[in-house]
């Protein structure tokens, strides 16, 4: 009984101490001057800034650009002007930028191919992706890219692979070397070798267009002829890697 009574006697004393401590802290806080608080905040901000910018962390800014497939004149519409630009692009694709070529790859297979031509011409007839999709299904009994697929985010801080041009071009008949006339391209790109052959084709079309554009002098002609013979030999030996 004596112990219980003693505990009862002590309880108010402990509460009293706690209340006293709190009042002391409150008193101290009240006494802090505004200038000191502001100074403390400034110091914290400076330390945080130093830590943020000097810690060994690699920060990469990811930036991308939204592009509208098939909208070559960037007026946010699909119209006849886009069709005219696309036709010019098909005649000499290498005079146009990588972004332009990506906008032409509507089926997103990383090639400029016959299906891109078919889809884009169909799109320009409707100028409306919903209508184009429905009409394509009605007439072709096949699927057309969905409207949301006609918009793509392209990273602007890194290199983007240009789609490979694989459309049959009659210009190869006037090529200054022989192997391209014998180059047998597969119907579909299924294997790694198929892809390499089409990459060679793309490069050869680029070379012929550039070659026809420029008149070479005698020394340049001789040099070019030697290179063309070298290419013919590479093709005969099937050393496709050495073309690239």
Residue 77 beta carbon to Ca ion: minimum distance, rounded to whole angstroms: 5
- 83/171 with CB nearer Ca ion: 83
- 75/84 with CB nearer Ca ion: 75
Alpha helices in 55-191 (DSSP H): 80-91, 98-104, 114-126, 129-140, 179-182
Residue 86 beta carbon to Ca ion: minimum distance, rounded to whole angstroms: 10
- 196/234 with CB nearer Ca ion: 196
- 19/77 with CB nearer Ca ion: 77
Residue 233 beta carbon to Ca ion: minimum distance, rounded to whole angstroms: 32
Please name which of 237, 59, 55, 67 lies closest in space to residue 150, comparing C-alpha atoms: 67
Residue 220 beta carbon to Ca ion: minimum distance, rounded to whole angstroms: 35
Provide the binding-site residues for Ca ion, judged by CB under 5 A: 71, 73, 75, 77, 82, 105, 107, 109, 111, 113, 116
d(CA 66, CA 193): 33
- 90/224 with CB nearer Ca ion: 90
Distance of CA 16 to the CA centre of its chain: 69
Sign of CA dihedral 79, 80, 85, 90: positive
Q: Are 86 and 72 in contact (CB under 8 A)?
A: yes
Residue 185 beta carbon to Ca ion: minimum distance, rounded to whole angstroms: 15
Q: Are 178 and 83 in contact (CB under 8 A)?
A: no
């Amino acid at each position: 009984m004596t112990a219980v009574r003693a505990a009862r006697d002590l309880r108010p004393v402990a509460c009293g101490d706690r209340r006293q401590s709190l009042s002391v802290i409150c008193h101290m806080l009240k006494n802090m001057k505004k200038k000191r608080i502001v100074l403390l905040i400034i110091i914290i901000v400076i330390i945080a800034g130093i830590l943020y910018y000097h810690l060994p962390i690699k920060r990469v800014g990811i930036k991308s650009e939204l592009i509208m497939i098939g909208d070559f004149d960037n007026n946010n519409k699909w119209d006849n002007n886009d069709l005219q630009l696309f036709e010019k692009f098909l005649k000499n694709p290498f005079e146009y930028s990588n972004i332009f070529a990506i906008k032409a790859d509507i089926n997103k297979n990383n090639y400029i191919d016959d299906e891109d031509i078919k889809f884009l011409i169909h799109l320009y007839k409707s100028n409306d992706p919903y209508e184009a999709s429905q009409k394509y299904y009605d007439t072709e009994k096949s699927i057309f890219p969905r409207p949301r697929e006609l918009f793509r985010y392209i990273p602007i801080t890194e290199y983007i692979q240009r789609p490979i041009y694989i459309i049959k071009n009659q210009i190869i008949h006037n090529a200054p070397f022989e192997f391209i006339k014998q180059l047998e391209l597969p119907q579909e790109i299924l294997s790694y070798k198929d892809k390499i052959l089409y990459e060679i084709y793309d490069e050869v079309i680029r070379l012929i267009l550039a070659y026809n554009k420029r008149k070479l002098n005698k020394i340049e002609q001789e040099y070019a002829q030697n290179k063309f013979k070298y290419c013919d030999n590479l093709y005969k030996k099937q050393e496709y890697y050495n073309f690239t």
